[in-house]
Structure 1
Amino acid sequence: MSTQFCVFIVDDEYPVRHSLGLIMETAGFAYQTFESAEDFLQNYCPGQPGCLLLDINLPGLNGDELQAELIRRKIHLPIIFLTAFGDIPMTVRAIKAGAVDFLTKPVPRDLLIERIQAVLQHETQIHEQTAEQALCMSQYGLTSREMEIMSLVVAGHPNKEIARQLGISYRTVEIHRARILKKTGTTNPLELARLCKACNFPP
Structure 2
Amino acid sequence: MPDEPSTVFIVDDDDEMRESLEYLLKSVGIRTKSYSSATAFLTDYQRSQPGCLVCDVRMPDLSGLDLAERLVQMGIRLPVIFMTAHADVPMAVRALKSGAAEFIEKPFNAQSMLERIQRAMVEDRKQRAAAAHWNEFAAKMATLTPKERESLVMVLEGAPNKAVAARMDITERAVEMRRASIMKKLNAHSLAELIRLVTEHEHNAHCHCPPRPT
Structure 1 residue 181 corresponds to structure 2 residue 180: no
Aligned to 1:197: 196
Q: CA deviation at 1:122?
A: 1.5
Aligned to 2:122: 121
Equivalent runs, 1:18-57 vs 2, <5 Å: 18-57=19-58
Q: CA deviation at 1:196?
A: 6.2
Alpha-carbon separation, structure 1, partners of 2:105 and 2:43: 27
Contact 1:84 1:104 (8 Å CA) reproduced = yes
Equivalent runs, 1:97-136 vs 2, <5 Å: 97-136=98-137
Relative contact order: is structure 1 or structure 2 higher (C-alpha 8 Å, sep ≥ 6)? 2
User: Structure 1 length normalisation: TM-score?
Assistant: 0.70
Which stretch of structure 1 is more off in the superposition, 16-25 or 127-136?
127-136
1:4 partner SS: coil
Q: CA deviation at 1:134?
A: 4.0
Query: In the alignment, residue 101 of structure 2 is paired with which amino acid?
Result: V
Query: In the alignment, residue 142 of structure 1 is paired with which amino acid?
Result: A
Structure 1 residue 8 corresponds to structure 2 residue 9: yes
Which stretch of structure 1 is more off in the superposition, 119-128 or 15-24?
119-128
Q: CA deviation at 1:98?
A: 1.2
In the superposition, relative to structure 1, how do residues 87 and 129 fare at CA in structure 2: closer, same or farther (>3 Å)?
Answer: same
In the superposition, relative to structure 1, how do residues 60 and 180 fare at CA in structure 2: closer, same or farther (>3 Å)?
Answer: farther
Which stretch of structure 1 is more off in the superposition, 95-104 or 125-134?
125-134
| 5+ long unaligned stretches in structure 2 | 158-181, 183-191, 205-214
CA deviations over 1:125-156 (Å, ceiling 9, x no partner): 22223334444554x2629xx9xxxxxxxxxx
In the superposition, relative to structure 1, how do residues 137 and 92 fare at CA in structure 2: closer, same or farther (>3 Å)?
Answer: closer
Aligned to 2:80: 79
Identity rate, percent: 33
In the superposition, relative to structure 1, how do residues 37 and 196 fare at CA in structure 2: closer, same or farther (>3 Å)?
Answer: farther
In the superposition, relative to structure 1, how do residues 14 and 178 fare at CA in structure 2: closer, same or farther (>3 Å)?
Answer: same
Aligned to 2:161: none
Contact 1:7 1:53 (8 Å CA) reproduced = yes
| 5+ long unaligned stretches in structure 1 | 147-176
Query: In the alignment, residue 28 of structure 2 is paired with which amino acid?
Result: A
In the superposition, relative to structure 1, how do residues 180 and 48 fare at CA in structure 2: closer, same or farther (>3 Å)?
Answer: farther
Alpha-carbon separation, structure 2, partners of 1:41 and 1:179: 44
Q: CA deviation at 1:68?
A: 1.7
Q: CA deviation at 1:3?
A: 3.5
User: Structure 2 length normalisation: TM-score?
Assistant: 0.67
